[in-house]
Amino acid sequence: MTLTQIDLRGRDFVALADYTQEELYTLLKVAGSLKEKQKAGNPEQPLKGKTLGMIFEKSSTRTRVSFEVGMYQLGGQALFLSKNDIQIGRGETIEDTAQVLSRYVDGIMIRTYAHRTVIDLARAATVPVINGLSDLNHPCQALADYMTVLEKKGRLEGLKIAYIGDGNNMAHSLMMGGAKFGMNVAIATPEGYEVDADVAKQSQEFAEQHGASITLTHDPKEAAADADVIYTDVWASMGFEEEQQQREKAFQSFQVNEELAKYAKNDYLFMHCLPAHRGEEVSAGVIDGENSIIFDQAENRLHAQKAIMALTMSS
């Protein structure tokens, strides 16, 4: 490929924190180029003859389809591996699984619970490992999100993104990525549901390096004030379903609705990683309104992930 001068071959994609601003912008540039060429009917296929192994301990619509289609469009193929399909579900260590799969495939994507699983897999594997989601980070989603904001706003630096809701993996990756891109990030969470303190500290350091800011608050209105982007996620992520009723009470005043949106800029963008629960974390009027770009960001999962695979898995 002749898309970039930056060499990311063989690199893992575990967290946005691992990549410099220049490298992240390179990924966005390549994602945009691959998207443009695909839609023009002139696709780039740098991964002909290559295979991606996809380990799913957590199910997903967007992650499976986008990675599988993405590998096909890049000229390669993808293998879906649920925990019931491989020995990891019967007690084989993640290190053994990593070494065996590295003998067969050219890259591994994993969607799992514990972030430690992703780290251990990446350390033991001899091929690039891509974090399709862990309880700590969701870097592929965040990269696609910032690709979408860049398309809509023409820039990232200096914009304000407000995340309203649970201090989860989505909040972490948005915070890291926003800081790296020089964006002002405001996170509003209920008490007891704050973001991870270490991730917040690391993101704050990134923000200072790039002339941006991180604001952590328990006030959704403060976070949404003058925002260019408002983002939310479900109140009970996968694995926390038993806390649904408890969380509904704690998050009651954190719904993104028309009243809260008034605090943002008139041309704000509404974003959600999906699946969404209308009437809970977001009102139907907002998510289905003219400021919503949820399906554009869902589409860009495909293109952003193609860039990650193309740059890390190419020969």
Catalytic residue list: 111, 138, 141, 233, 273, 301
Q: List Cα–Cα distances, 100 to 11, 111, 225, 286, in angstroms.
A: 19, 18, 51, 47
What is Dmax (Cα atoms) for the chain? 55
Burial of 60 (0-12, 13-18, 19+ CB in 10 A): middle
Q: What b/e sequence results for 253-289 when a residue is b if at least 16 CB atoms lie within 10 Å of its CB, and e otherwise?
A: ebbbbeebbebbbeebbbbbbbebeeebbbbeebbee
Which residues participate in the annotated binding site for L-ornithine? 169, 233, 237-238
Tokens 């289609």, residue?
Answer: 69
Residues 6 or more apart whose CB falls under 8 angstroms from that of 312 comprise: 8, 9, 10, 11, 12, 13, 107, 128, 130
Q: List Cα–Cα distances, 51 to 7, 77, 130, 154, 254, in angstroms.
A: 20, 5, 13, 34, 42
d(CA 169, CA 23) in angstroms, rounded, equals 21
Neighbours of 40 (CB within 10 A): 8
Which residues participate in the annotated binding site for carbamoyl phosphate? 60-63, 87, 111, 138-141, 273-274, 301
Q: Which tokens go with 115?
A: 């972030």
Contact between residue 222 and residue 188 where contact means Cβ atoms under 8 Å apart: yes
